Amino acid sequence: MRVVLAEDLALLREGLVRLLEAAGFEIAAAVDNGPDLLAAMIGHRPDVAVVDVRLPPSFTDEGLQAALEARRRVPGLPVLVLSQYVEQLYARELLADGGGGVGYLLKDRVFDAEQFVDAVRRVAAGGTAMDPEVISKLVGKERGPLSRLTPRELEVLELMAQGRSNAAIAAALVVTERAVSKHIANIFTKLDLAISDDDNRRVLAVLAYLNG
DSSP of 133-174: HHHHHHHHH--GGGGGS-HHHHHHHHHHHTT--HHHHHHHHT
- pLDDT, tens digit (0-9, with 9 covering 90-100), for 128-158: 888 877 776 666 555 566 778 888 988 888 8
Output the pLDDT for position 13. 95
**Phi and psi for 11 in degrees, rounded to 5?**
-65, -45
Q: Which residues of 144-181 are buried (b: 16+ CB within 10 A; e: fewer)?
A: eebeebeeebbbbbbbbbbbbebeebbeebeeeeeebe
Output the pLDDT for position 162. 74
* Mean pLDDT for back-to-back runs of 10 residues, the chain (212 residues): 96 95 97 96 97 91 92 92 81 71 88 91 88 70 68 85 84 94 85 62 60 54
Tell which residue, 22, 29, 19, 5, has the closest CA to residue 82.
5
Ordered domains of the chain (ranges, CATH): 2-131 (3.40.50.2300), 142-211 (1.10.10.10)
Output the pLDDT for position 209. 57
* Integer Cα distance of 207 and 205 in angstroms: 5
Output the pLDDT for position 204. 57
Output the pLDDT for position 206. 65
- pLDDT, tens digit (0-9, with 9 covering 90-100), for 27-45: 999 999 999 999 999 999 9
Output the pLDDT for position 173. 94
Output the pLDDT for position 67. 92
Please state the separation of Cα 133 from the chain's center in Å.
12
